[in-house]
Amino acid sequence: MVRNSINTVDFVRIADLALNGGLAGRPQAVTNQLCQDFVDVLTDEESNRLLPCKHESHIKKPTVEKYMRLIKEGGIAVSDLLEFEWPRDIGSERGQVPPERERYALDCVGYYVTEWDTKPMLGLVQRFAQVVFASPGWDNTERAPMAERLWYADLVEKVPNQERPSTKWEELYLATKAWNDPDKFDAWAEEQGISRLTISLPMSPSDRLFSRFLPQWLWGYKSIPVELGGEHVIREEEQQQSETTRAIGQPFIDQEKEETDDTTLEDIQRELEGYVSDVEKQLEAGGAENR
């Protein structure tokens, strides 16, 4: 039975394979690759529970054919899903990166190629260049999450029957230069009922494939502990080291709370250097005892 709808992940991957993967006009090859992608991201536990290409949420060939036909006939705008190519995508035509933002576009490509080993699509490069233009002083690790949230909204909007997520928070954050006083902006946004866009991907086997298009977001997700909604599992030794460091540092923190505010910057720097040295020595001593 063919599904009547498609999720954002599968749609973007179909377009990616057709436009950038050399599989245009080959729906069976696209279906096969989607199946292989799905199997490749399964964990051992999931592999034991699922049969390759038989999972109820996995996309089937008739659905692939439907969306490849829509892409070919222009029923869905996909020009921004092509991998960015310089200098083809620089210019004053609609859908191109303006010449005055050419350097920003190349910075985006360089960042994603060197940090994430992936060539970004034109749409992400366009969003990145917009963010750079509107956020003087930021570095790429700050620009990428903002650009990816805007790009994610663009991708969701492409899927039939999907409503574009609101990016009002992102728009107003840039418009008001809220990074100069983020606490004030957050308080105001909360009063207005405006919240940061949340990328809603439950990280099922299929959704993990989205990492090719949102690698900065995926990295952040994997760094968040499971109990807070992320994927990072804290190992026992990490937990023990964290508890040890906290125990060593607590007396220092308590002492700081009791001291007056007339301490100089040099005093603070000397105390911190001594504190770090003490922590390192005690951790080394604890490790030696456990060996």
Specify whether 87 is located in the same domain as 202.
yes
Query: Same structural domain for residues 61 and 72?
Result: yes
Say whether 167 sits in a helix, a strand or coil: coil
What residues have CB less than 8 Å from 154, skipping those under 6 apart? Answer: 80, 123, 127, 164
Say whether both 141 and 204 belong to one domain: yes
Torsions phi, psi for 95 (to 5 deg): 90, -5
Contact (Cβ atoms closer than 8 angstroms) between residue 121 and residue 144: no
52-66, 184-198, 229-243: which is most confident = 184-198
Q: Which of 115, 111, 110, 118 is nearest to 86 (CA)?
A: 110
**Structural domain for 224, as ranges:** 82-228
Nearest to 218 by CA among 166, 144, 159, 155: 144
Q: Residue 53, Cβ neighbours under 10 Å: how many? A: 15
- Same-domain check for residues 103 and 221: yes
Q: Does one domain contain both 19 and 90?
A: no
Interatomic CA distance for residues 88 and 195, integer angstroms: 36
CB 164 within 8 A of CB 147: no
What pLDDT is stored for residue 192 in this prediction?
Answer: 95
Flag whether 185 is in a domain: yes
Q: Regarding predicted confidence, which is higher, 260 or 28?
A: 28
**Same domain, residue pair 89 and 224:** yes
Domain count, the chain: 3
Answer yes or no: do 106 and 219 share one domain: yes
- Average pLDDT over the chain, rounded to an integer: 78
Residues 138 and 134: their CA atoms lie apart, in Å, by 10
**Given a cut of 70, is residue 250 above it in pLDDT?**
no
User: How distant, in Å, are the alpha carbons of 121, 163, 173, 199, 200 from that of 189?
Assistant: 31, 22, 9, 19, 20
Last residue of a domain, one of 41, 63, 79: 79
pLDDT attached to residue 253 = 42
Closest by alpha carbon to 122, among 147, 145, 157, 156?
A: 147
Sign of the Cα torsion 191, 194, 199, 201 reads positive
Together in a domain, 38 and 145: no
Shared-domain flag, residues 199 and 121 = yes
Q: Which DSSP category does 1 fall into? A: -
Q: pLDDT by residue (tens digit) across 216-242?
A: 887 776 655 444 444 444 445 444 444
* pLDDT(38) > 70: yes
Same domain, yes or no, for 201 and 113? yes
